[in-house]
Chain A
Amino acid sequence: MNARQTTPKISPRLIYITLLSALFAVAISDHLMSPALSNLGAPTELGNACAPCGAPCVDAKPKAD
């Protein structure tokens, strides 16, 4: 089944190192350029969250002013 395995010109190890380094470089840049929180947060903690991603309860009506 794996007889026709692709043979990339650059090694998978090099691709991995490049991607891993790029991922962390982008993340560290984002961290240095963005405001950081003193407390780690999760989306479910704010608003009328009904799910871990922070989705609000759909049956909830907005409060009147």
Chain B
Amino acid sequence: MAVFSSTTKKQNAARHRALWSFGGVDKPLLMLISCLGLILAGLAGLDTGLTGLALVGLGLLLGMAFMGFQYGFASGWRRFLESGDASALSLHFLLSALCALIFIPVSAAGLGPSGSLAPVSVSLFIGAFMFGTGMQLASGCGSGVLFSFGGGSGRMIVALPFFVFGSVLGSIILPPVLAWGSLGQVEIGGGLSGTGKLAVNLVLLLGAAVFFRWLSARRGFQINRALLVATLLIALLCWGVFWVSNHPWGVTFGFTLWGAKIVSAAGVPIEEFAFWTWPGPQRALTHSVFSDTSSLMNFAMIIGAGLTAALTGAFAKSAWPNTRQLQAAALGGMLMGIGARLSFGCNIGAFLAGTASGSLHGWIWFAIALAGSVLGIRLRAKFGF
């Protein structure tokens, strides 16, 4: 047990030392990414004022936090399934509990921002399983693909386009699959007052965090302090996004929008498909990519991760993956894209936002995506890694 603990500590320490070493600033990249960030902030600020600027800033900070701390969902879940190290899962549920502290009471009080609820549907089960499989193949979830792409990961340079086009495919598939059956939105503690609902959900979320902490400790794994700090930091940023945008942070709709815009430009009449006739997606498709919260924040997150990678010289440290790994990334990206649309989001939009909003779909997403991860890990071996 002590060996497990010691090894994990050394690995984690090495990982964080490598990223925060500021070994060699990549000045040309720093200049390029800074310029792109200034253009993004300028355009967002001109149209949407302080709201746009604030969301660009929050996205940038999220990108920096995720890249700097290498805050991953896919790798943490894989460590749990492979070695029993559930410390990352414990932190993920802690993050959700911290978000719930703001999301649930603010939503209940009707102050403007509202949580993220989604139906418990057949599509949720299918999509979450596909997503879990895909995120292990690609070695990154929605946020992971985004920040790792921003940080120059060769694997994610391949995974992201497949994620984008997979999610367009998912948008075409979603309407008929939704018709296969749904219980509608199910709120945990829905019949209770705001305080009661918060209490029930906090008990569940903190209970899960403590349970996974206990599982880790039994096997000799400890919570990484740097990742604990990252969890607190990301929770603060999620509160900010919730307050400024009126919704919990989400990643994958932005990808779907990017893909739809690209296929539309290529002459595909995407606006005629049922998903894109729904009022929300239709508005997004007919307006600028910087007019959608998720899309705007995705661009900002890429900038934030890119700045961190340029400052720390991470580009020089990353090796180009072999062909099989790139094939796995492509397949994983495609599965995640389709899965995200069918299951109403990724680890951020479905799991984190869902559980922190007291929506049952978030919990189901977690359980099914974890099961999908088991298959994904087995498939990784088929791809030779």
Residues of A whose CB lies within 8 Å of any CB of B are 1-2, 4-8, 12-13, 15-17, 19-21, 23-24, 26-28, 30-31, 34-47, 49-59
Contact = CB atoms under 8 A, between A and B. Distances in A.
A11 B278 CA distance: 43
A65 B152 CA distance: 54
B296 interface: yes
A51 B359 CA distance: 11
Contact of A41 (B121, B275, B293, B320): B293
B85 to A, nearest CB: 21
A52 B353 contact: yes
B291 A55 contact: no
Most buried by A among B182, B280, B290, B292: B280
Interface stretch (B9-17, B47-55, B205-213, B221-229): B47-55
B116 interface: yes
B278 A6 contact: no
B315 A16 contact: yes
A39 B296 CA distance: 12
B74 interface: no
B247 A50 contact: no
Contacts of B27: none
A44 to B, nearest CB: 6
B236 interface: no
Contacts of B250: 42, 52
B288 A43 contact: no
B157 interface: yes
A23 B288 CA distance: 14
Contacts of B292: 40-43
Contacts of B353: 52
Given A24-B40, A35-B288, A36-B48, 18 more contacts: A6-B321, A17-B29, A27-B289, A28-B43, A36-B287, A37-B48, A37-B288, A41-B283, A41-B292, A42-B250, A43-B281, A43-B283, A43-B292, A47-B278, A51-B119, A52-B247, A52-B344, A53-B275
A31 B138 CA distance: 30
A28 to B, nearest CB: 7
Contacts of B349: 52
Contacts of B280: 41-47, 49, 53-54
Contacts of A44: 116, 247, 280
Given A44-B247, A59-B182, A52 B345 contact: yes
Q: Which 3 A-B pairs have the closest CB atoms?
A: A43-B280, A54-B280, A47-B279
B368 interface: no
B220 interface: no
Given A12-B157, A44-B280, A36 B293 contact: no
B152 A16 contact: yes
5 contacts: A8-B320, A12-B157, A12-B315, A12-B318, A20-B36
Interface in B21-45: 29, 32-33, 36, 39-40, 43
B281 A19 contact: no
A43 B284 contact: yes
A36 B291 CA distance: 6
A54 B3 CA distance: 49
A32 to B, nearest CB: 8
B286 A35 contact: yes
B7 interface: no
A42 B247 contact: yes
> Most chain-B Cβ atoms within 10 A of its Cβ — which of A2, A36, A38?
A36
Interface in B224-273: 245-248, 250, 253, 256, 258, 261-262
Given A20-B302, A52-B253, A53-B344, A31 B289 contact: yes
Given A53-B253, A57-B119, A40 B293 contact: yes
Contacts of B51: 39-40
B204 interface: no
B341 A24 contact: no
Contacts of B376: none
A15 B349 CA distance: 29
Contact of A21 (B32, B116, B318): B32
B244 to A, nearest CB: 9
